[in-house]
């Protein structure tokens, strides 16, 4: 795969970075990333190449696994210690529902956390050099990867949508 | 004011609270650690001498250790209420206070979790509560409410810790980006390389909502399960169907009071007055009134059922609880939990920090008394007059109890000075929403 250049634009509002991202999408650009100090507005998702998340699928799957694990743990351990206790038969589903419920929540949350770590690529490492610390304070960023020769047009687009600063790096630049 | 200026100001105001602590701060931490150390010494003494050094025995087998457990689990609950339940209902005033409330939840559950272990005596047998293959072929009895409690409280601790940490990740990244040296490395590891990318936010938003939705039924179930430790028995005063909602209400009542108690001094000390305003305290005081009314209704219903049911055991027990030797504790509980919160019907009281502090402290005292009265009296005065007895905590139990408070406050102070006590990202959203009509988190 050919090496790509990158244009980095810095903005001071969510609206302008969203408008710039929307314009990129309309032009058919597919490789760009928005950086924001706050959670994006719902409308931002329409301006991005990818939207939605599989995290909820994993929450549901974790919950279903949890109820099976919780009930299974109760049934198996009571079968292994097959005595009537508290006047209840060894396998009593009513009290096991409590454990099943708690395990549903527990495993749903563990699956949610694990899927977030996986999909958001959370690793205990330093951010890459292109990350600007101002993105966690008061600046929005739009980083666009492009083929050779497209950098100038993209930089112009970012400026026209209110970018305060634009840095271009062509493929092969240090 | 532009969006960027607004964000910069919120960033600055929260992050200034993480400036290097003073010597006085470390002296307070050292003092609390010393009190906690005394508790460890008292527990070690109990471990070597046996449970005889505690005041529990016959007929009162559950003493202040279990009182402390129920009290601290209760304190934990309003943290989840504020962070998850109020989040789902889009209550705006939660934003400035939910981080501190979540921290309180985690530390309170950590404190609560110590007490069943302390109460066990031979603490190493705690392994018997874990369903792992063993040479004795003994397995936990999942039909017992006590085992439900083990599962529920450990689930609650895991979920509330994860929820707390999840909310912290973007804010720790903000601290990392302003730090240097070893602090930058530590915060860098804790922030899990968070870069504020859309690709991260879109998954984060879904995960946060999922956690809030899962934590909401969990918080209700956990205190219901704690109440079943008592309600599933046949003892007068314990065997009642009102216990689960009554315990949940009591938990929220005590937790809200503790949040107010913690936030008033923290807000001043960390100079967060512009972010945590009187409006936030007013919201909590209004909830305290609401919960106080529910508590009053619950106490009234309990007494009415004991009287009108005609059950002589319930009737004699209720009368003894109110007018016996522990009567002053009962009436103290009624005063602190039912009468004191009514002060906050008045706006002047809700917006006066001194009144709020005194009121919240009294509710804390009242809720501790409630746990004491509820747990001790039923076992001390059940069916047979020949089995009646009394209970007074020993110096060992009291030392461990005081040490638990020191441990909790020490953890909270360490948190307040080393992690953002106010949610930076959500405060930015709220500040923007207040000026530009933004749509908020999630």
Say yes or no for a CB contact (<8 Å) between A102 and B155: yes
ipTM of the complex: 0.92
Q: Is the confidence at residue B349, as pLDDT, over 50?
A: yes
Determine the Cα–Cα distance for residues B237 and B372; give it in Å rounded to an integer: 13
Predicted local distance difference test score (pLDDT) of residue B314: 93
Residue B117 scores a pLDDT above 90 = yes
Judged by a CB distance cut-off of 8 A, whether residue B197 touches chain A is: yes
- Among the partner residues B141, B196, B221, nearest to A135 by beta-carbon distance: B196
Kindly give the pairing relationship between strand A32-35 and strand A140-146: antiparallel
| Contact across the interface for B195 and A127, Cβ inside 8 Å | yes
Q: By three-state DSSP, how is residue B378 classified?
A: helix
Q: Is B90 on the interface with A (CB under 8 A)?
A: no
B202 to A50: CB separation less than 8 angstroms, yes or no: yes
* Whole-angstrom distance, CA of residue B291 vs CA of residue B78: 11
Residue linked to tokens 């050919």? A2
pLDDT tens digits for range B245-296: 999 999 999 999 999 999 999 999 988 988 899 999 999 999 999 999 999 9
Which residues on B lie below 8 Å from A106 (Cβ)? 155, 158-159
Q: Is the Cβ pair A12, B441 closer than 8 Å?
A: no
What's the pLDDT band for B135 if we cut at 50, 70, 90? Answer: confident
Is B333:B296 a contact under the CB 8 Å cutoff? no
For the ranges A78-92, B219-233, B371-385, the lowest mean pLDDT is seen at: A78-92
CA distance B431 to chain A (A): 11
Tell me whether residues B429 and A38 touch, CB distance under 8 A: yes
What is the tens place of the pLDDT at every residue in B27-42?
A: 999 999 999 999 999 9
pLDDT in tens, chain A (174 residues): 457 889 999 998 888 999 999 999 998 888 899 999 988 777 788 888 888 889 999 999 999 999 999 999 999 999 888 888 888 899 999 999 999 999 999 999 999 999 999 999 999 988 888 899 999 998 999 999 988 888 888 999 999 998 899 998 877 665
Give the chain A residue nearest B220 (alpha carbons): A102
Residue of B nearest to A123 (CA): B192
pTM of the model: 0.93
Contact across the interface for B207 and A33, Cβ inside 8 Å: no
A39, A106, A128 member nearest B205 (Cβ):
A39
Which neighbouring-strand residues pair with B152?
none
- Checking if the pLDDT of B330 tops 50, the result is yes
Residues A142/B195, Cβ–Cβ less than 8 Å: no
Distance CA A89, CA A95 (A): 11
Smallest Cβ distance to B7: which of A44, A99, A138? A138
Give the residue on A whose Cα is nearest the Cα of B430.
A38
What's the pLDDT score for residue B284?
92
Q: With an 8 Å Cβ cutoff, are A116 and B204 in contact? A: yes
Q: Can you read off the two tokens belonging to residue B47?
A: 């471990």
pLDDT band at B144 (very low <50, low <70, confident <90, very high): very high
The pLDDT value given to residue B50:
94
C-alpha B223/C-alpha B66 separation (Å) is 14
Q: State chain B's mean pLDDT as an integer.
A: 92
The closest CB to that of A138, out of B4, B155, B194, belongs to: B4
Residue B298: is its pLDDT beyond 60?
Answer: yes
């Amino acid at each position: 795969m050919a090496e790509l250049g990158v244009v980095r634009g810095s903005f001071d509002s969510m609206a302008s970075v969203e408008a710039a991202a929307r314009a990129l999408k309309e032009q058919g650009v597919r490789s760009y990333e928005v950086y924001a100090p706050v959670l994006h507005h719902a409308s931002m998702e329409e301006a991005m190449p990818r939207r939605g998340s599989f995290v909820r699928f994993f929450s549901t799957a974790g919950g279903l696994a949890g109820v099976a694990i919780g009930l299974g743990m109760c049934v198996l351990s009571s079968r292994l210690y097959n005595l009537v206790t508290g006047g209840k038969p060894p396998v009593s589903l009513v009290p096991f529902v409590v454990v099943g419920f708690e395990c549903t929540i527990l495993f749903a949350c563990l699956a949610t956390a694990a899927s977030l770590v996986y999909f958001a690529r959370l690793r205990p490492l330093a951010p890459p050099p292109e990350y600007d610390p101002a993105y966690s304070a008061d600046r929005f960023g739009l980083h666009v990867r492009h083929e050779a020769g497209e950098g100038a047009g993209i930089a112009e687009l970012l400026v026209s949508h209110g970018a305060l600063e634009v840095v271009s790096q062509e493929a092969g630049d240090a | 004011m532009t969006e960027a200026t607004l964000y910069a100001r919120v960033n600055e105001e929260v992050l200034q609270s993480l400036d290097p602590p003073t010597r006085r701060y470390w002296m307070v931490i050292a003092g609390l650690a010393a009190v906690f150390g005394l508790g460890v010494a008292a527990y070690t003494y109990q471990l070597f001498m046996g449970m005889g050094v505690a005041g529990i025995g016959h007929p009162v087998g559950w003493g202040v250790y279990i009182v402390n457990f129920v009290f601290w689990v209760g304190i934990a609950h309003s943290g989840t209420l504020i962070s998850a339940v109020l989040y789902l209902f889009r209550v705006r005033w939660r934003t400035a206070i939910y981080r501190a409330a979540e921290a309180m939840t985690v530390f309170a559950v950590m404190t609560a979790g110590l007490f069943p272990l302390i109460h066990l005596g031979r603490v190493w047998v705690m392994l018997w509560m874990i369903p792992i293959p063993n040479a004795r072929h003994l397995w936990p009895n999942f039909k017992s409410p006590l085992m439900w409690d083990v599962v529920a409280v450990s689930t609650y601790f895991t979920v509330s810790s994860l929820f707390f940490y999840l909310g912290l990740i973007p804010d720790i990244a903000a601290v990392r980006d302003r730090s240097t040296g070893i602090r930058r490395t530590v915060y860098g590891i804790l922030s899990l390389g968070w870069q504020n990318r859309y690709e991260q936010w879109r998954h984060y938003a879904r995960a946060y909502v999922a956690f809030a939705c899962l934590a909401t039924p969990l918080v209700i179930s956990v205190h219901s399960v704690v109440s079943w430790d008592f309600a599933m028995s046949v003892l007068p005063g314990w065997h009642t169907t009102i216990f689960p909602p009554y315990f949940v209400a009591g938990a929220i009542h005590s937790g809200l009071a503790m949040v107010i108690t913690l936030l008033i001094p923290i807000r001043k000390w960390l100079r967060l007055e512009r972010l945590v305003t009187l409006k936030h305290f007013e919201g909590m005081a209004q909830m305290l009134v609401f919960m106080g009314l529910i508590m009053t209704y619950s106490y009234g219903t309990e007494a009415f059922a004991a009287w009108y049911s005609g059950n002589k055991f319930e009737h004699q027990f209720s009368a003894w609880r109110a007018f016996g030797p522990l009567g002053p504790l009962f009436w103290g509980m009624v005063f602190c939990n039912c009468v004191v919160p009514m002060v906050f019907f008045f706006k002047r009281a809700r917006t006066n920090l001194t009144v709020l502090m005194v009121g919240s402290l009294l509710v804390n005292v009242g809720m501790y008394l409630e746990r004491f009265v509820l747990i001790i009296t039923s076992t001390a005065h059940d069916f047979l007059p020949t089995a009646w007895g009394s209970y007074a905590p020993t110096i060992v139990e009291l030392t461990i109890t005081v040490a638990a408070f020191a441990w909790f406050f020490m953890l909270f102070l360490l948190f307040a000075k080393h992690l953002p006590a106010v949610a930076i990202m959500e405060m930015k959203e709220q500040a923007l929403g207040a000026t530009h009509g933004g749509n908020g988190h999630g």
